[in-house]
A and B are shown apart, each in its own frame.
Chain A
Amino acid sequence: MTELHSQTLTELAIGLESGDFTSVELTQALLDRVAEHNDKLNAFVTITADEALATAARADAARETGSGGVLNGLPIIHKDIFCTRGIRTTCGSKMLENFVSPYDATVVEKLSAAGAVVLGKSNMDEFAMGSSTETSYFGPVRNPWNLDCTPGGSSGGSSAAVAARIAPAATGTDTGGSIRQPASLTGTVGIKPTYGRVSRYGMIAFASSLDQAGVITRSAEDAARLLGVMAGFDARDSTSIDQPVPDYTLSIGDSIKGLRVGIVREHFDAGLDQQTGARVREAIAVLESLGATTVEVSLPNLDLSVPTYYVVAPAECSSNLSRFDGVRFGHRAEDPEDLLDLYCRSRGEGFGDEVKRRIMTGTYVLSAGYYDAYYLKAQQVRRLIADDFKKAFANVDVIAGPTTPSPAFKLGDKVDDPITMYLNDIYTIGANLAGLPAMSVPCGLVDDLPVGLHLVGAHFTEEILLRFAHQYQQQTDFHTACPEAFK
């Protein structure tokens, strides 16, 4: 038998079902992996060993009686942005260092109801603001492929843990690429579904009109399995969409023959690392070999997606993060002189540099005299970008390209230059602005570091994306590659 940690979620489900091992055995094996490797990676903010083993035991009992859910006994990790009842939820911030949520996020509730075992909470950029996990109050996460490199961000703890075979799957959130970019940089599969597909209730908000929860897994099939459980309407989220959730695992086996793949020429321009571009072109060739046709599409306003994003996201975050004022929860400054001092110091001390910078950017673009020039203008450009996609999807089923401009960069390399860091999300941000489903699929290595193929679909076409990815993975084995030190 393959070692437990090496198996995918789907393989583990079969193993549990056939009684090859118990959930307690599996959970213990993975907790041992956590103990062995987390010091190197710093992928976890909180490890919930006792709770995990207790849940696993319950799952084993449920299996005996045949009452377990579809994820019964399968271990996962939650990004520490999801509120977990009774378990600390930090959002990677000093502000919430000691915050214990009194409730579960809908995503957490759904996965738990399906029987998932939660190993712990994964490290992340503070309030999901970052692309390298370096803004975390709990220190940066390291990339299992090269410990000097970033695993991407903001869901870097999730991507590192999955890549290092510590957990078969992890939840993540994606506001501008925070699932797909780390997936790309760690050789894992990451999917951000359509905005409104998964409930945002209990997911600590960064930019409400862009945030969407998703998963990081080892295979498209695993992503399909997990996403099916997480997705769906939630009466507690006004922006969640009341549409039935298909069983994504049913159609992934279907052929992609005759489906059209859009290629954006500008995506392969000077900004893209040549070798990364080569891997992506090879991946597209595989899709063609499977019967898909390629069509050139144009997204003329896409080059404005990063500046648009860096108006919209900070604007929303400046308001979303106002609730952290040291009064009802979170960090509170010692001995405040007066109310103003309480606010300014609690927030000044509780938030890190990048978060403060984004709050200030957002405050600036919404402030009197600037609203029209920045915020309103960005909302208009956002419409142009969304319309570009709409036009493109009239002719194609997916748009394929690189997830990131290059493989993982060294920790510390971009931390001092916000703009360079922001540009790492240049290919991923458009999907968030337009609310489209998108995913990253491992498509090879560049200098021993993984890179990803980015697939974007029209609204509510997760099925098609997953099918493309799964069919691709039937022909390739990039997703099974494991960093040497974590085999």
Chain B
Amino acid sequence: MYYCVPAEKRLVGAAQAARLVFIRTPELPVPLDKDQVHHIAMLARLKLTDEEYAESVEKLSKIVDFIDQLSQAQTDGVVPMAHPLDAAQRLRPDAISEIDERDTYQENAPAVSGGLYLVPKVIE
């Protein structure tokens, strides 16, 4: 089923990632191995078929190779840009503006009981 990736096989550190960019040959994409893809899929809670895994390894490797171009950019001291506009958060007044519409909202819910959303039992 789902298997856990041992810590040492998890994603490599940033420094290592950066080094990889330089040691690779241009034609060959940095391959993500199957364990890494498993780990990513697990973090993202995606179940993939064996076929999808094989394809993901190949295509994600290409994508990672593609985005590795960014390492060429000279960005020392550049302030990261999280928003396209230079604006500050607007605040709203502390007022209740919502009414109970549970029944309407739960029409889209696959499983409810007594107003609760149901999931397989969570063991804590």
On A, residues with C-beta under 8 Å from B are 98-100, 102, 194-196, 209-210, 235, 238-239, 241-242, 301, 304, 306-308, 310-311, 318, 322, 325-330, 332, 336-345, 347-349, 351, 353, 356-357, 359-361, 363-365, 367-374, 376-384, 386, 418-419, 422, 432-436, 459
**Contact indicator per residue, chain B 61-81, by CB within 8 Å of chain A (1) or not (0):** 011101111111101001111
Q: Which among B40, B79, B84 is the interface contact of A364 at CB below 8 angstroms?
A: B40
A374 B67 Cβ-Cβ under 8 A: yes
- Complex CA–CA separation, A344 to B42 (angstroms): 8
Within 8 Å CB of B60, what residues of A? Answer: 357, 360-361, 364
Q: Which among A311, A332, A339, A367 is the interface contact of B40 at CB below 8 angstroms?
A: A367
**Contact indicator per residue, chain B 90-101, by CB within 8 Å of chain A (1) or not (0):** 101000000001
B24 at the interface (CB under 8 A from A): no
Q: A342-B119, A373-B18 given as contacts; is B44 within 8 A of A365 (CB)?
A: no
| Interface residue range, chain B | 35 or more
B62 A311 Cβ-Cβ under 8 A: no
- Complex CA–CA separation, A347 to B43 (angstroms): 12
A241 B11 Cβ-Cβ under 8 A: no
On B, residues with C-beta under 8 Å from A are 1-2, 11-14, 16-18, 32, 37, 40-48, 52, 55-56, 59-60, 62-64, 66-73, 75, 78-85, 87, 89-90, 92, 101, 104-105, 107-111, 117, 119-122
A380 B62 Cβ-Cβ under 8 A: no
A351 B90 Cβ-Cβ under 8 A: no
B52 A325 Cβ-Cβ under 8 A: no
Within 8 Å CB of B40, what residues of A? Answer: 360, 363-364, 367
- Complex CA–CA separation, A363 to B120 (angstroms): 25
A102 B104 Cβ-Cβ under 8 A: yes
Q: Which among A194, A307, A384, A432 is the interface contact of B66 at CB below 8 angstroms?
A: A307
B62 A356 Cβ-Cβ under 8 A: no
A381 B70 Cβ-Cβ under 8 A: yes
A384 B78 Cβ-Cβ under 8 A: yes
Given A98-B108, A348-B46, A374-B67, 13 other A-B contacts at CB below 8 A?
A209-B82, A241-B87, A326-B110, A327-B119, A356-B56, A360-B60, A373-B71, A377-B71, A380-B75, A382-B81, A383-B81, A419-B63, A459-B85
Q: A373-B18, A378-B70, A381-B73 given as contacts; is B63 within 8 A of A418 (CB)?
A: yes
A238 B52 Cβ-Cβ under 8 A: no
- Complex CA–CA separation, A348 to B121 (angstroms): 21
Q: Give the residue name and chain of the B residue nearest to A434 (CB).
A: B84
From A98, A337, A364, A365, residue with most partner B Cβ within 10 Å: A364
A348 B47 Cβ-Cβ under 8 A: yes
Q: Give the residue name and chain of the A residue nearest to B55 (CB).
A: A353
